[in-house]
Amino acid sequence: MQSDARNSLDLDLAEERFLAAIDHTVGIEEEFAILDQTSFDLVPGFERLREAAAIRDSLLCEGITGELISSEVEIVSGRGEDLADAIARQRERRRRLFALAEQEGFVLGATGTHPWADYRKQTVIDTEHYRRVAEGLQYVAARNNTFSLHVHVGVNNPDRAVKVCDRLRPVLPLLLALSASSPYIDGRDSGLHSARTQTFTRSFPRCGVPDPFGSWAAYRQYIDVLRRTSSIVEFTQVWWSIRPHFAFGTVEVRICDAQISGGESEALTALIVACVAQAARDIDEGVPFEDPPSRLIEENMWRAIRFGLDGSMIDFAETEEYPSAAIAERLAAWTAPLRGELGIDVLFPERNGAQRQRSQIAAGVPMEEVYASVVAETRQTYAQEVTV
C-alpha cells in the first residue's frame, strides 16, 4: 500500500523540511467526542460534519480532520506564525465547529475518555490510513476511544529537534499530570486521573516516552530500520508522546488529555510552546543536561496517570518528592526566559479536569451528571472566544 504523501518516510525530504523550519511557529490539534444532544452517548457523526462543512464552511472544512473513530472529530489550527496567531486561528475554527455541530444535532465533549461508551460499538472512519491502523493493531486500535490535545512547535534543524525531544522526556509526565481529565472508562470510575493514557499510551506500539536518541542521525537510523523491516509504512505510525514531525518541521507534543475548557487547552498549549522553546534555547547555549533513565521517568508517568495533580512527583536531581500541585509553578520558573521573550503567560485553574470530576465523584454525584456538567463547561468555553 502507498502511504499518504504527508506521512511519507522520505527521510531526505524530512531533513529538508526541518532545515527550512522556523522556530516558534505553532499548530494546535484538539480532539472532541461527538455526542447525542440528550443522552450524551457517543454517536457516529464525523462524516456528516465533514460533509456539512464542505458545503457550508470552507474555512472550517480546512480544519476538520478525522481521528480513527467516526464518533470523534479533530479541529486543527494549521500553522500559526506564533502562539497568538495559532490560538486566534483555532478559536475561529472551534467556534464554527461547535455551531455546525449544534446545527447537525450534536454536542461535543472534551475529556480524555468518554465515561461509558462501549468501544466494541464504534466504527472506524473510511480512510486508507485508519483502515491500516485498524487492520494492523486489531484490538489495540479498537480499544482506543480516547481524546487528546497535540501541540506542534517549529524547530529549525533536525538535529536540534531530536535533542529538544530528548530534553523534554522528563517533562512529559509533568504535562500529563497537569492535563489529566479522564477518571472514567467503560462505565466505571477507573481510580485513575488519566485513564486515557493507560488505555492508549500503554497499549499502542512505539508509544509513550521515547528513548533518548541524541542526534538526527540516530533517529533517522531508527526510522530507517522500521521502514526496512516493514514495521511501519508511514512515519505517523511512530506514536511517541513527543516526536519530530516530518511533514511540518515541528516537535509535536502528544502527551496531554483533551481539556474540558477552552482556557485550559490554551494554557497547556502556551506552556508546551514555552517548554519546547526553552529546551531549544538551552541546547543552543550549552546548558548542561543529564538525561534521566527511562525507568525513573516511568515512575513519574505512573504517578501522573494514577494521581494527577493530587499526588507527588520525583525530583531526580535531588532524589526527593515534591507535590504535583507545584508542577505548573516549576515549569513556569524554568521557561521564564523564553516566556518573557515570546510574551507567553500561563494561567491554570486551581483544579484540573480530573480533580474537578473527582470532587463530584467523592460527593456521590452519578457519573452521568458529572459528565453532563463537564460537557456544559466545554460547550460554554470552546464555542466562544476565551481568555487565557
pLDDT tens, 274-290? Answer: 999 999 999 999 999 98
Q: How confident is the model at residue 135 (pLDDT cuts 50, 70, 90)?
A: confident
pLDDT of the residue at 387: 40
Tell me the mean pLDDT in the region 68-87. 96
Question: pLDDT > 90: what percent of the chain?
Answer: 87
Place of cell 507535590: 323
Instruction: Share the mean pLDDT of the chain.
Output: 94
Q: How many CB atoms are closer than 10 A to CB 202? A: 12
pLDDT band at 209 (very low <50, low <70, confident <90, very high): very high
Q: Are 339 and 211 in contact (CB under 8 A)?
A: no
Contact residues for 52 (Cβ-Cβ < 8 A; gap 6+): 100, 103, 104
The residue among 165 and 290 whose pLDDT is bigger is 165
> Cα(25)–Cα(83) distance, rounded to whole angstroms?
7
Quick one: pLDDT at residue 142? 85
pLDDT for the residue 2: 33
Reply yes or no on whether the pLDDT at 136 is more than 60: yes
At residue 258, does pLDDT exceed 80?
A: yes
Neighbours of 66 (CB within 10 A): 19
Lowest mean pLDDT, pick from 42-46, 124-128, 185-189: 124-128
More confident residue, 36 or 132: 36
* pLDDT at 383 (0 to 100): 84
Inform me whether the pLDDT recorded for 384 exceeds 90. no
> pLDDT value at position 4?
52
How does pLDDT run across 28-74, given as a tens digit for each residue? 999 999 999 999 999 999 999 999 999 999 999 999 998 889 999 99
Confidence of residue 388 (pLDDT cuts 50, 70, 90): very low
Q: With contact defined as beta carbons under 8 Å apart, do 33 and 72 qualify?
A: yes
Burial readout 209-221 (b: 16 or more C-beta within 10 A, e: otherwise): bbebbeebeebbe
The confidence score (pLDDT) of residue 13 equals: 94
The alpha carbon torsion through 42, 149, 198, 241 (nearest 10 deg) reads 140
Question: Could you give all domains of the chain from N- to C-terminal order, each with its CATH number?
Answer: 5-382 (3.30.590.20)
Share of the chain above pLDDT 70, in %: 97
**How confident is the model over 75-92, as a mean pLDDT?**
97
Q: Which of 1-5, 32-36, 154-158 has the lowest mean pLDDT?
A: 1-5
**What pLDDT score does 67 carry?**
85
Q: What's the pLDDT at 175? A: 98
d(CA 260, CA 388): 14
HSE toward the beta carbon, residue 102, CA cutoff 13 A? 10
Alpha-carbon gap, residue 115 to 356, rounded angstroms = 15
What interhelical angle do 216-228 and 158-168 show, nearest 10?
A: 90
If you average pLDDT over residues 244-256, what whole number do you get?
A: 97
Report the DSSP beta bridge partners of residue 152: 27, 252
pLDDT for residue 101? 97
The one-letter code for the residue type at 120 is: R
pLDDT at 105 over 60: yes
- Which of 318, 378, 319, 334 shows the shortest CA–CA distance to 112? 378
